[in-house]
Each structure stands twice: as C-alpha cells, then as structure tokens.
Structure 1
Amino acid sequence: MAFKELAEVASFKDMAYGPIGEAVKKAMPYTEADEIGVYAAALSMYAAAINGTVTFRRRPVGVWTVLVGRSSGGRKGTASDTARAMLDTAIDDFLFDRTVSGITSGPSLVNHLWKTEVDSLTSRDGVDGRVLLMEEEWAATLKRSRRCPTFSQQLRTAWDGKAIRNITKGKGEEARQEVTRPLLGFHAHITPAEWTRHVSSDEALGGTFNRLLPVMVERSKMLPSRDDDDESDWTLDIPRADALKEAYEWARETPRSIGFTKQAATRYDELRWEIEDHLAELPEEVACFMERTTEQVSRVAAVLAASEMKTKISVKALNAAWAFVRYSMATVEYLIKNAGETGRRIKPLSEVIRDALIACGGEATSTELHAKVKNRTNAAGLKAEVEAMPNVEVVKVKTGKPGAPKVVYRLKTEESEVKPEPQDQGQDPGRPTLRLVEPEPAPRPARRTRTRATNKPKTETQRPKTQRSKAQPTRAPRVPESNPFADLLSL
C-alpha cells in the first residue's frame, strides 16, 4: 500500500465532524500541516480536557494519538502547534497547566498523576487529576522506558481508567501512592523508521500499542515565507475554535455519560462484525495492533458527541469516528508492510537474552548478561524477563566468600546450549572454535649445568652430572685433602 493510497481508505472529509472538524477546516489555510494530523492532535487534546466528567459507559474517553511522518516533510510539530493554537481559548489553561513530557518509568508516571491530584485538593472544583502526556520525540522516550519493567503495564492500566499505584520502601501510608481513577491523555510524534525500530508486535500483543491510534501525515502545502522583519508567531493567525468553548464548559460543569441513539447502536453492532471479520483475515503480528478498534471507535464518537453538547452519539458521528479509526488501521498495515520490505526487524528482548547467553557459552552471571542487554532493559527488567523464559533457568552458586551467592542464568534446551566440551568429545561443527596449537620446540645447544654440593657422598657407581662423555684433561684439579671425593677425581 503506497502512502497516497491511505487517503482512499478514508479521507478527511469522511472523518471531519462537528465543531472540531469545522475548526480544523478554518485553520487549514494558515498552516502547512496535514489536516488529518491537526484533527488527530485536536481530538487527543480535547479528549484529555473533558476526560473525567465525560465518560462512555463508565469508561474514560481519552483518545491517544501518534503522528507518524518524516522529520521534515511530515510537519508533525506544525500539526500539533496548529491544534494547540486552535484550542487555546476554548479549553482555558488546560494545555498550559496540564501538559507534561519525559515520563519514562511506571513509578514516575504514578507519582506525577498522584501529585497532580494532591495539588488540586484545595482548588475550587475539587480533585482534578487530568494530565496530557505529550512526547514530540517519542522514539527517545521509548528507548528509556524499556529499562522500566512496569511502565508499559501502568500505561495500559491508565488507558483503561483503572487504579495504578506505587509501593515504595518503608511502612505506613506515606509509602503508598495510589491513583484510583487516572485521567491520562497521550499524544506523540515519531518517524516511520523510528516506528519500525522501536515499536514491536510483542508490546502490541501485551496491549500497549493497540491503545494508540497512529496516523500517517505529510505536508499539505507550501505557504509563502513571511517577511524577514516580521517576527510575530505564525500560530496567532490560526482562527480560535470559539464554538468549542461553550461545549467545554458544558462538559466540565457536571458529569456527562455518553451513549448511543437506537440507530447508532445498530450501526455499532454492524461495525463490530465488520472489524472482527477484518482482523480475522490479518496475520497476528498485524492484528494485535488493532485489537481495541471497537472501543477506539466508541471513544472518538463520544468526544465528537460531547463537542456538540450531546449525550447521545448519532449515526453520523459514529461513521465519522469509524473513518478516523479506519485510517489509523490502514496506517498500521502500511508501517508493518514497509518494515517487512526494508528487512528491518527488532528482536524481542527474550531473543536478545538468548543470543547473549549463547555468545557466553550457554550461561552467564547476572552482571555479565546485563552488560550485554543494558541498552534494552535494567537489572529488574532483565530478571523479570528471564523468569518468564521457559528455556532459561536461574541458578544460585556459592562462591565460598562472604556475601550473597552468585546468580547465574543458564540455557536449558540442548539445541541452544553451547557449553565448553572436552577435546575428546568434539566440538559443535556449526560453530567455529579456537584451538591452542603448541609449537614444536627448537633444538637448543647443550648447556653446562652446575652440580649442587650435598652432604651425602656418592658411590662409585654414580657419575657426577657434570661429567661429559669426552676424555677428561690429563691433569687432575687440585683438591683439598679433606675432600671426600678426592679418590674419584684422581681416577
């Protein structure tokens, strides 16, 4: 599927709906961003702003989007800046006060959401834990977050709206941080190459990436350059979405539960069948990115309905939401196909650990193994991953020294176990081996050796070590009369 063919799956005209769609249309003459990119960013920001008071069947309405485009031609930052300027006056100071970035671990995520709630305890509106996590350099964040074994799990739980918590060292309530109802929004940027490198089907199977809606974006047009002496911010030209201000106040004044009209409920059931039939035809490594498609459709539709100050989702709003999610599904298929054509594949961590153990001869200490995989995970993450691997055993070896025993990771399967074998048993023919070859000793000239005097006299049958086979000189050496070997030397 070529990039331009994505527009044939679903166009902006199909998905643009309500005040959000109208606001994007009015902003497009003043920006070079992709209209679908601006729409995706606006959906994510507005959903994060109304999350909490607006729900869909007691579920959060957070819409988590990712803009996927090239570094220069994608205009990802321009799309987000356009959406931010468009919503600036509509949602008060939410984007300024509640946007955060750089969170790369589960404990730091829980800590930030918990502190946000604590800081709002004395506010006029009471507890308010809304946060928008916005990562414009998502690839760098993905690299660092792999070192925390709990980050993906906490992120998934936050999307579901279920309680997340930290249990820190110590006793008492101060050692426990708990957010019973996380209100987290998410929006990120990444290039197609970075997606291929850092987004794996393993994480999608675990449920992390199928909670995201990636959309491919590209520059919509090239606007004339501004005058050199005009230093004003270009986003000031973006028309503000004043129509959304009233809808935002309506959404925040009291809890709103969004549902379907009778006709929309029937249409939703049709979409469920259509989505499940489509996923059944896809390979698992592709379908795992789309397993929450039906809920994604309902969340987008709920946000569109709330933007119209309605508690019932119409068929038109549902079809617009389906068009947006369908475009995201086509984006995933494009990215995975493109990754296969370029031959790039990111090894799962379990595979990296197995290869590292084979390179170490079938076993390695925890310190040695972590040195080889430290760019993928930390010590705790390594331990958790190894414990989940059926072909690796953990052995504790006593060193005979004070302290804890040494932890050794060892491959259990015979085919992958590469331990040193004695030379008479042979080596694995599939692996090159090194053998120390002893050089033959070169002949050396005879060297005169000195005899060490001993107190034990030698018998007549013994010959001195220094005696040579050739004839001795005719003159015997002078020896003191007290020498016990005098008789032998005179022979």
Structure 2
Amino acid sequence: MFEDKPDEAVYTGILGEIVKILEPSEEADPIGILASLISLTSAMVHPDIRIPISRSERHPVTAWTMLVGLTSRGRKGSATNAALKTGRKVSRTFVENNVLRSLASGEGLIEAIADLSPKEIREMEEAGQAIPEQGGQSRLLYLSEYGKIMGKSVGPGATLGTTLREAWDGETLAVPTRNNPIKATRPHLSAVAHVTPGEFSDRLNLTELAGGSYNRWMFFYVQQTKVLADDVPIDEAKYAALCAKLRNNLADVGMKAQTVVEAQKAACADDENDDGEADFFLIERTPEAKELWRDICATLEQQKAMSPILDSFTGRQRPHIMRTAATYAIADGRTEINEVDLAAAYELFEYSLKSIRYVIGEDEDIPEGGYSANAKLNEDAKNVAAALKQRAANLKDGLTRTEVRAICGGNKVSATYIDEVLNVLGDNISRGQKPGAGRSAVLYSWTGPLVREMTEEGV
C-alpha cells in the first residue's frame, strides 16, 4: 500500500490555490489534479520562453506527467478532467483546439503540429494572404491509455517512441522520407498520461527504458482519496477569480517574451554568426533561488547512487525540476524563478521519485529474517539484484561469478557464500554461458520483473 504524501510546499502559488479549492469537491488525488494542471499550464506558456539549465542547454517550459493508478480506484481521469475544466475557464479556445487525445504513430503526431508546406505557402502568397510565422505549435498531449502507446513504441518501423523523446526535447520534428516531407519546427508540447501499474509492468520495453523514453516523464502514483455521494460546493467566485488571474498572468508574461524576442531578432537580423539565442526569452533565477539550486544539485548527485535501475527513470531530474519551477513562476505572473517556486518543484520531483520507486518495487527491503536470517546475505542479494536489473534495463549481458563476488566483498567471501547469495534470488535469475568465453565463464542474468507486479487488488 502506497502511503506517502507530497510535501505541502507543492501546493504553492495560483496553481496550488486552485487545487486546494477543488480538492473538497473531488474524489481524485489532489496530487493528480496538480500534476495534470502543471502539464496543462505549461502547454499554455508562450513557446519562445526557455529555461537555461546550463550554458549550452535551453529547455522549453513544458511538463510531462504520468498518473499511475489502479483502474477506477486511481481516479486518474477525474484528476485530469478537473484540470481541463480549469483550463476551459482560463482559455476555452486552447482546450478545445490544442489538446491531442490520441496518437497512432510518430508521423501522425508530426502531421498534427506541422508547419505549412511549401505548396500551402505558395497558394497563400498567390492569394495575397499573410504567411504566419512557422513553428512553436503548442499542444497538450492527453494520453489516457498510455499502455497502448507503450505497445506502439516498439517493433519494426515504430517511430512513436523516438518522436515523443524528440518532442520532449523541444527539437524540430520531421518526416523527410515522404514524397511530400513534413516538418514541425520547435513544437511546444506538454503531456499528461494515464497508465495502470499492471499495464506498465506488462508492457515495459527494455529498449525504450534504455533509450530514455521513461525518464522524460514525472510519475505520480494516485489513489481515490474520498467517496462523495453528492456534489460538494466550492467557492465559485474565488475559483473564477484565480482562473482569470492565471489567464492574465500567462498573457502578460507571453507578451513580454514576444516583445523581447522580436527586439532581439531585429538586432541580430544582419548577424551571420547569430547562434540562435535571440530566438528565446530566458527565464532566470533570483539570487536566493540560485543558492537553493546549488544545494538541490548536490542532493540530486547523491541520489544518483541510490539505485542503478532508478536512474533509467529519473535521469533528467534537473530539467524536470526547472521546467516545473518555471511553470509555477509564470503562472504567478513572474519572469524569474524564486526559491518558493524551486522548493515546490523539488518537492514535487521528490514525490515523483517515491512514486516510481513504489511502482518498480525499489522501495522494498528484504525483511530481516525474510529470505535469510543473515542480514549481510540479504543486503548483498539486493545489491546483486540491482546490478542485474540495471544490466537488463540497458540491454547488456549479465554478471559473471567474479563480478557477483566483487559486489559481495571480493576475495573476502567464499564460493559457498556466493552460492547462498544467488540462491536468495531464486527464479529471478538464470544461469548461462558468457558469449565467446570458455567453459568456466558462467553468466548470471536477471529474468524476474523489472517493476513491481500489481493487480487491480493491489500488490
């Protein structure tokens, strides 16, 4: 049973206030509402705004959130519907025209957000019509059945997984092999997806995991929080006022970004060595936020050593946190990230970390006296299992007996002890021959589940 709750710091600013108003009237998990609302709000952010992660990295202000929960009892749909209802109050036009609810292929996604084709531009010019600036198409991907997307992302000719990874990066997407090539210049895509733990476990593909498909998402385990027999009224006036304020803040920040970018482009119009930096309006951090960010980065580096398999899901911690912090700031009408935004984004990522640890089973410890009364034996078995899982996730060969022994203490432990460690892992490992090696080179590989196996009844 997942019992963790996010720090209250995540419910900050306008977005947090909206969730607090909606929470009494919803059976959905408030963290699911917040995650969905962050994705939707980030999709409404002006596409020319960027966040400097490092000197060479400029990230779009987009958020990709994955709600993981049991069918019906997870209330995933209720959480996202609450966010979309808010979105309609902020901009009905955006929600009705800019939310994509299904994806069949990578090519289909690119077609949905494509620039005008040369033929279309030529026809508009001949008709005397003004040609709009190309690129920067803003969309929210609402993938309510992500399990099906996982199935479409693998196999011969599958392009969806690659296209989604590039879309998260904010890169220009293209299908150059067609007779009539299509291109989507620097699209601005946020996403919210739903999946059950069982679907995720059954359809998790090692190639996609190793390729980085899942570390582009922040995962949130969600559960029904209450049962409501009747409608519960909310403060409609305050709710409407917050939605109006969010609308105005997004418009004000967007207008400022557009004005600055237009001036920067005009100044660089004749510069042949322009590096493209003028195309963006950069969201910076306050001095206090910079100091906090240094502390957070140090903590994130320490977390990398927690679990090799976990890194396959959380390898993009810094961009996730900064994108979320920028969304908090812009929603409040600011063009600088302050320490409150950053603290909220960090706590949200920490909850995402706890969620994915629960989903993949990394939160489980071998209980004392469980597999063995020997605590060291249990700990070594856990470490060997983690190493084998990581190699499996990265599509690499397993571990030799020498490598297993090195994990357990090297020459300080006996061959009998290594046998006991391997016996603890039981049917989760297989024994084979290392390719190209001699008869004695035995290779142990992970054959158990990489993620926690769940049913509709739970674990």
Q: TM-score, normalised by structure 2?
A: 0.66
Note if 1:30 corresponds to 2:25. yes
Taking the aligned partners of 2:74 and 2:351, their CA distance within structure 1 comes to 16
Cα distance in 2, alignment partners of residues 302 and 194 from structure 1: 32
Structure 2: distance between partners of 1:276 and 1:117: 45
In structure 2, how many angstroms separate the alpha carbons of the residues matched to 1:79 and 1:116?
35
Structure 1 residue 203 corresponds to structure 2 residue 170: no
Give CA-to-partner distance per residue, 1:67-120, whole Å, 9 cap, x none.
Answer: 111101111000011111122121341111011122132222222221589999
What's 1:191 paired with? 196
Partner of 1:155: 164
2:229 to 210, 224, 242: 224
Measured in 1, the distance between the counterparts of 2:171 and 2:112 equals: 16
Unpaired stretches in structure 2, ≥5 consecutive residues:
53-57, 258-280, 366-384, 397-433, 438-459
- Residues 116 and 129 of structure 1 are in contact (CA less than 8 Å); yes or no, is this contact kept in structure 2? no
Partners in 1 of 2:247 and 2:143 — Cα distance? 25
Provide closer, same or farther for how the CA distance between residues 143 and 237 of structure 1 changes in structure 2, counting only shifts above 3 A: farther
CA distance in 1 between counterparts of 2:296 and 2:13 reads 21
Native 8 Å contact 2:207 2:395 kept in 1? no
> Structure 1 residue 272 and structure 2 residue 273: aligned?
no
**Are the aligned partners of 1:98 and 1:132 in contact in 2 as well (CA < 8 Å)?**
yes
Other-structure match for 2:355: 331
RMSD of aligned C-alpha atoms?
A: 3.4
User: Matched residues in 1 for 2:252 and 2:117: separation?
Assistant: 22
Q: How does 1:320-469 map to 2 (within 5 A)?
A: 320-337=344-361
* Alignment-derived partner of residue 12 in structure 2: 17
How does 1:253-292 map onto structure 2 within 5 Å? 253-255=255-257, 256-280=281-305, 282-292=306-316
Displacement of 1:213 in angstroms is 0.5
User: Are residues 238 and 185 of structure 1, via their aligned partners in 2, closer, same or farther at CA, if it must alter by over 3 Å?
Assistant: farther
Query: Which residue of the other structure, out of 249, 252, 259, is the alignment partner of 2:251?
Result: 249
Tell me the CA shift for residue 132 of structure 1: 1.3
- Cα deviations across residues 443-488 of structure 1 (Å, max 9, x unaligned)? xxxxxxxxxxxxxxxxxxxxxxxxxxxxxxxxxxxxxxxxxxxxxx
Deviation at 1:315, TM superposition (A): 0.7
CA 1:144–1:314 in 2, change beyond 3 Å: closer, same or farther? same
Distance 1:199 1:311 in 2: 38
Contact 1:258 1:313 in 2 (8 A): yes
Shift of 1:54: 2.7
Counterpart AA for 2:145: E
Kept in 2: contact 1:104–1:142 (CA 8 A): no
Moved more, 313-322 or 204-213: 204-213
Q: In structure 2, what is the Cα distance between the partners aligned to 1:279 and 1:349?
A: 16
Determine whether 1:311 maps to 2:335: yes
Structure 2 counterpart SS, 1:14: helix
Tell which has more relative contact order, 1 or 2 (C-alpha 8 A, sep 6+).
2
Name 1:439's counterpart in structure 2.
Answer: none
The CA distance in 1 between the partners of 2:171 and 2:17, in whole Å, is 34
Q: Match for 1:274: what amino acid? A: T
How far the C-alpha of 1:258 sits from its partner, in A, is: 1.0
Q: Aligned residue for 1:301?
A: 325
Confirm whether residue 61 of structure 1 aligns to residue 61 of structure 2: yes
Residue identity matched to 1:178? K
Q: Structure 1 residues 102 and 92 mapped into 2: Cα distance closer, same or farther (>3 Å)?
A: closer
**Post-superposition offset of 1:187:** 0.8
Q: Tell me which residue corresponds to 2:70.
A: 70
Contact 1:38–1:79 (CA under 8 A) maintained in structure 2:
yes
Mark the CA change 1:37 to 1:124 in structure 2 (over 3 Å): closer, same or farther. farther
Per-residue deviation at 1:254?
3.8
1:182 to 183, 187, 200: 187
Partner AA of 2:106 in structure 1: G
CA–CA separation in structure 2 for the residues paired with 1:339 and 1:277? 17
How many residues are matched? 338
> Letter of the aligned partner of 1:177 in structure 2?
I
Write out per-residue CA displacement over residues 180-206 of structure 1, whole angstroms, 9 at most, x where no aligned residue.
312111111011111222234542331
Structure 1 pair 157/23, CA: closer, same or farther in 2 (3 Å)? same
Larger radius of gyration: 1
C-alpha displacement of 1:226 = 5.9
Preserved CA contact (<8 Å) 1:110 1:177: yes
Conserved? CA contact 1:53–1:254, under 8 Å: no
Query: Does the residue aligned with 1:59 lie in a helix, a strand or coil?
Result: strand
Secondary structure of the corresponding residue to residue 114 of structure 2: helix
2-structure distance, mates of 1:224, 1:251 = 41
Distance in 2, matches of 1:202 and 1:350, equals 7
Question: Aligned with 1:74: secondary structure?
Answer: coil
Matched residue, 1:167: 176
Deviation larger for 291-300 or 252-261? 252-261
Name the structure with the higher helix share: 2
Give aligned-pair identity as a percent: 25
The Cα offsets for residues 267-303 of structure 1, whole Å up to 9 and x where unpaired, read as 11111110111111x2321122111001111100001
Distance in 1, Cα, partners of 2:130 & 2:225: 42
Shift of 1:250: 1.3
Q: Which residue of the partner structure matches residue 392 of structure 1?
A: none
CA displacement, residues 210-266 of structure 1 (integer Å, 9 cap, x when unaligned): 010110111121112469xxxxxx9x9994422211112113324242110111111
**Runs ≥4 in structure 1, deviation > 3 angstroms?**
115-128, 236-240, 338-341, 347-351, 412-415
Partner Cα distance (2:117, 2:93) in 1: 17
Cα contact 1:201–1:289 (8 A) shared by 2? no
Retained in 1: the 8 A contact 2:210–2:394? no
> For 2:256 and 2:174, how far apart are their aligned partners in 1?
27
Worse overlay, 20-29 or 331-340? 331-340
Indicate the larger mover: 35-44 or 246-255: 246-255
Q: What residue ranges of structure 1 are gaps of 5+ in the alignment?
A: 228-233, 352-411, 416-491
Matched, 1:80 2:80: yes
SS of equivalent residue, structure 2 residue 246: helix
